[in-house]
Structure 1
Amino acid sequence: MTTIVLHFLRASHAPSHGSISRRTSRLWLLLNLAGLLFACADHREPDPDDQNQLRVQAAVDSVRRALEDSLGHTVPSMSVLIQTPSQTYFASSVPAGQSPITPQTYFRFASNTKNFTATAILNMYEDGWLDYKAKITDLMPGSTQPYVPATAEWNFPNKDQITIEQLLQHSAGVYDVDNDSVPGFNGMSYTEAVQTADPTHQFTTEEMVHQLILNQLSYFAPGTGYHYSNTGYSILSYIIARVYSARSGLTKTYGDYLYDYVVGPGAPIPVTIRFPVRADDTVLPSPRVEGLELLPGNIQKRYGDYNMSAQVGEGNGYGNMASLNSYIRSLMKGQNVLTPQTVKLMQTSVSSANPTYALGCTFTPNLGYGHNGARIGNLAVMAYDPLTDVSLVAYLPLWDLTDGFTSFIKCFNGMYDAAYAARKSLGYPGKP
């Protein structure tokens, strides 16, 4: 197996964050005015908005072609949805003869899920259901039960010192059994090894915690460092399910809470986004785009329907670019499920070890606040810039691993280059 772990990336000169591991694990609708323009029989000049659409399309086309030149092969698609204070533009650049994706095309958006998890935690905080400053061994408000069980099966290293906030910031020191190698699995992560052996395995947070206990795994004492941890967010998903179950008196899952309060019909801004938690909930709806991995030896792997139960709370989300933009824009403007004051906490409550990662939220100059993600051949970023009132989502369904990390990082940076180029084409600050 090829394993690449990315804990902190700088896309060109802008800090961003993403984690990738294991090659087996890891678009408001606007008509494509460009196509309509070319179809017109008369020679009228397009109005300014049409010109802007053409500019955005040309910018994304240019970045895709540059990435193709750098990699030495075609890039299946490069897409950006960008919303300004007055208009929304969408561009999907594809090779000649290929059909572009649309703002409603479904894809797996990987670690962007972490921002939804943070939103769920902070919404529970606003409702008085939990204290994000509390230790995970403290009692849930109004309950005689702690946030995580007080049992031997949960006695992982430094458990009594870890706070919910530290898990959100990746400053808890929780070892990542989804990204990093675990003893006894031939240099693979625990989740990679298990899913390779049984693609239908139903993962639980408890079994991941068991690996922490069995091998006494941790990175550092809580609050003393920074290390990206999918397992830390798996624990957060467990806390969300546990708190919701206690409050409702019913057995609830992480996905239930997100659907009921953050993305579903009852949410302030409903969006077509889902977070499957079951191993048999694998189908990616249509229209869809599948992640593509290119491996040495001319090997290609495509990922569409997939068991995401190992990534609950940290990378199991799927949706489309229109929904992601609607979510991140309204959230960061304080117009969604969180109040403006709580959104400010999400954006600014950083640890001393990493001033760019707050509560499930990163800041990237000239893009703004949001998150990114990388998993099973998918690369995506969502962001809102309060300085310009511009939001965007960029998506690239490609991991080129033919030259290991070198070719992968070209893809990752290419996605960011497309986002910056789209902004610049509309007169906003682009790549720093």
Structure 2
Amino acid sequence: MNSFSFTRLSKRFSFSLATSFTGIVRCLVTGGLTGLLSGCSFTNLDDHRDLATLKMQEAVDKVRTDLEKELQKEVPSLNVLIQTPTQTYFASSAAAGQQPVTPNTIYRFASVTKNFTATAVMKMFQDGWLDYKAYINDLIPGTDQPYVPATPDWNIPNKSVITIEQLLQHSAGVFDVDNDPVPGFNGESYVNYVLSRDSTHQFTTEEMLKPIIDNQLYYFTPGTGHHYSNTGYVILSRIIERVYSARSGSAKTFADYLYDHITGPSSRVPLAISFPYRADDVQLPQPNVASLLWRPSGLLERFGQVNMSAHVGEGNGYSSMASLNTFVRTLMRGENILQPQTVTLLQTDGSVARPTYALGTSLYANLGYGHNGAIAGYLTLMVYDPTTEVSLVAMLPFWDLTQGPNGDISFGKCFNAMYDAAYAARTALGYPGKP
């Protein structure tokens, strides 16, 4: 099985991320959304749907059917959730006979995980547990242990001059063994090479760093450029694990910290969001939606069970659109575990060369702050716009890889459609749309 991560979207595709974005969901607050969503024009069969709801549904329907015409393939569903200062809306445009999607349907949200990882780092900073400006071989505050192991299997190029902040910003130059071809692995990324031969393989961070060390791979001297790196976020997940273990006095995982401090019952805003890290933890809880993926060969595959052990901290999360909306809305408004001044740090990196990319957070025109993601046939976007106080989540459980080199053209059409639906839904509700 190929993993098809495709989380470094800005490099793989020629379209501009600054002008192509996702979004929106609408769920009638009146009585809640209880009806199943099915068929091209069904959102909520409540007779009291207002005009704005109908306009939003029609807008999302049009984007999905236009995508079907472009690809000459059935698109199972296109889904948008949006919350305004006064109401929450949800629109699911589903092809006839395809699985309905609701705000509570579980799916894999891929690189949106990076926003959670960055939030965890900044929460540790806020609590005095780490210094995000520190070098990764500096000592964890109050301990004699460095942020990353001082062992040969961690001797990646430029290790002594990489900071935690640079890892968050993708400015550390750490080579991405998940997205880029690695010498000696048949022209494939290391992760895809291994998974295509053994879908049950349990990855470790040290294992993924080995090809980098063996081949002395890196993109640039830390702090001198920008290159999206899933592997950089895998390193961040280990830093979170080591800091939490040191503070608690017992062995902890990345998932432990997220559950105990960011999303679990004892967090400020408890949410049902999970971050699997074992190769055998592949099943999504019910209700869930499987994704569909057209391979370059023309073979259509359905993804449900996926080994996420290579994606810890960078793309291993799963949840629902409703939970993602609550998280990003409360986080960016300073109503969650980060104080407002820490949220400002999360959103701002001070970069003149790349002002729109901050600490695990991107800024999208007329959509706001958040992150997107793509993995195993799922596409998603999670954002909050402080100007209009509108939060938005968009999801498309469908990839087409049949057009262009490596499927870039048809995949780009799917990705753009998700953003077009977001903008169209905002416009339908009277908010600024596609710039």
TM class by shorter chain equals over 0.9
Aligned in 2, Cα 1:115/1:10: closer, same or farther, shift over 3 Å? farther
Is the CA contact 2:324–2:382 (under 8 Å) kept in the aligned structure 1?
yes
Is the CA contact 2:295–2:400 (under 8 Å) kept in the aligned structure 1?
yes
Separation of aligned partners in 2, 1:150 and 1:13: 38
1:14 corresponds to 2:26? no
How far is 1:95 from its partner? 1.2
Is the CA contact 2:43–2:57 (under 8 Å) kept in the aligned structure 1?
no
- Structure 1 gaps of 5+ residues are 19-26, 41-45
The 10-residue stretch of structure 1 (97-106 or 422-431) with the greater mean CA deviation from structure 2 = 97-106
How far is 1:17 from its partner? 8.9
Is the CA contact 2:79–2:395 (under 8 Å) kept in the aligned structure 1?
yes
Separation of aligned partners in 2, 1:14 and 1:170: 17
Is the CA contact 2:3–2:195 (under 8 Å) kept in the aligned structure 1?
no
Is the CA contact 2:21–2:422 (under 8 Å) kept in the aligned structure 1?
no
Aligned residue for 1:197, secondary structure, equals coil
1:423 corresponds to 2:406? no
How far is 1:7 from its partner? 3.1
Aligned in 2, Cα 1:254/1:55: closer, same or farther, shift over 3 Å? same
Corresponding residue for residue 38 of structure 2: none
Aligned in 2, Cα 1:176/1:353: closer, same or farther, shift over 3 Å? farther
Corresponding residue for residue 299 of structure 2: 299
Out of 407, 410, 414, the position equivalent to 2:410 is 407
What letter matches 2:368 in structure 1? G
TM-score by length of 1: 0.92
Once the two structures are superposed, residues 133-188 of structure 1 have per-residue CA deviations (whole angstroms, 9 ceiling, x without a partner) of: 00001100000011011121211100000000000000000000011011110001
Is the CA contact 1:135–1:163 (under 8 Å) kept in the aligned structure 2?
yes
What letter matches 1:96 in structure 2? A
Corresponding residue for residue 261 of structure 2: 261
Corresponding residue for residue 389 of structure 1: 389
Is the CA contact 2:180–2:188 (under 8 Å) kept in the aligned structure 1?
yes
What letter matches 2:343 in structure 1? V
How far is 1:211 from its partner? 1.5
* Pairwise CA RMSD: 2.1
Is the CA contact 1:333–1:340 (under 8 Å) kept in the aligned structure 2?
yes
Alignment of 1:168-183 (within 5 A): 168-183=168-183
How far is 1:37 from its partner? 7.6
Separation of aligned partners in 2, 1:139 and 1:39: 58
Alignment of 1:226-237 (within 5 A): 226-237=226-237
Aligned in 2, Cα 1:341/1:290: closer, same or farther, shift over 3 Å? same
Separation of aligned partners in 1, 2:296 and 2:151: 46
How far is 1:298 from its partner? 2.8
How far is 1:14 from its partner? 3.1
Separation of aligned partners in 2, 1:140 and 1:93: 49
Separation of aligned partners in 2, 1:245 and 1:132: 17
Separation of aligned partners in 1, 2:300 and 2:313: 28
Separation of aligned partners in 1, 2:80 and 2:201: 35
Identity of aligned residues (%): 61
Corresponding residue for residue 33 of structure 2: 31
Aligned residue for 1:293, secondary structure, equals strand
Aligned in 2, Cα 1:178/1:353: closer, same or farther, shift over 3 Å? farther
Aligned residue for 2:300, secondary structure, equals strand
Separation of aligned partners in 2, 1:37 and 1:409: 30
TM-score by length of 2: 0.91
How far is 1:280 from its partner? 1.2
Is the CA contact 2:113–2:315 (under 8 Å) kept in the aligned structure 1?
yes
Separation of aligned partners in 2, 1:10 and 1:394: 21
Aligned residue for 1:14, secondary structure, equals coil
Separation of aligned partners in 1, 2:118 and 2:46: 46
